[in-house]
């Protein structure tokens, strides 16, 4: 169930938050995992490790890409869109 969808960033400030959130390879990996269906904090922690997990989740949430509640992660509309782009870019990069 998807709730609390946030529209895509509409201002330069919102775009800067998204850019900052996705400049980290760890957060890019996290958003790819989420797009692929891993939507629990525990699952993300198992995949990328617990080191600074709260900080990374907070950066993605601050950028409006995800919402976290009770250990569950919800991708926002922007999170789905940017996550798909990040995933496609990663797949192109690994194909060469």
Q: Quick: pLDDT tens for 16-62.
A: 999 999 999 999 999 999 999 999 999 999 999 999 999 999 999 99
* Residue 80 domain-assigned (yes or no): yes
* Residue 34 C-beta-side C-alpha neighbours within 13 Å: 34
* Count of structural domains, the chain: 1
Residue at 2 is within a domain: no
Backbone φ, ψ for residue 64 (5° rounding): 80, 20
Query: 7 lies in a domain?
Result: no
In-domain check, residue 41? yes
Answer whether residue 6 is part of any domain.
no
Model pTM? 0.85
Q: Is 64 within a domain?
A: yes
CATH number, position 51 = 1.10.10.10
57: its two tokens: 């989740």
Quick one: DSSP state of residue 10? -
Question: Domain containing 64: what range?
Answer: 12-91
């Amino acid at each position: 169930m998807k709730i609390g969808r946030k529209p895509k960033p509409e201002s330069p400030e919102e775009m800067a938050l998204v850019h900052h959130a996705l400049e980290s390879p760890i957060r890019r990996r996290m958003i790819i995992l989420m797009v692929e269906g891993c939507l629990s904090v525990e699952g993300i922690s198992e995949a990328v490790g617990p080191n600074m997990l709260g900080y990374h989740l907070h950066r993605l949430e601050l950028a409006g890409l995800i919402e976290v509640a009770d250990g569950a992660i919800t991708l926002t509309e922007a999170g789905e869109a940017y996550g798909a782009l990040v995933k496609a870019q990663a797949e192109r990069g690994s194909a060469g």
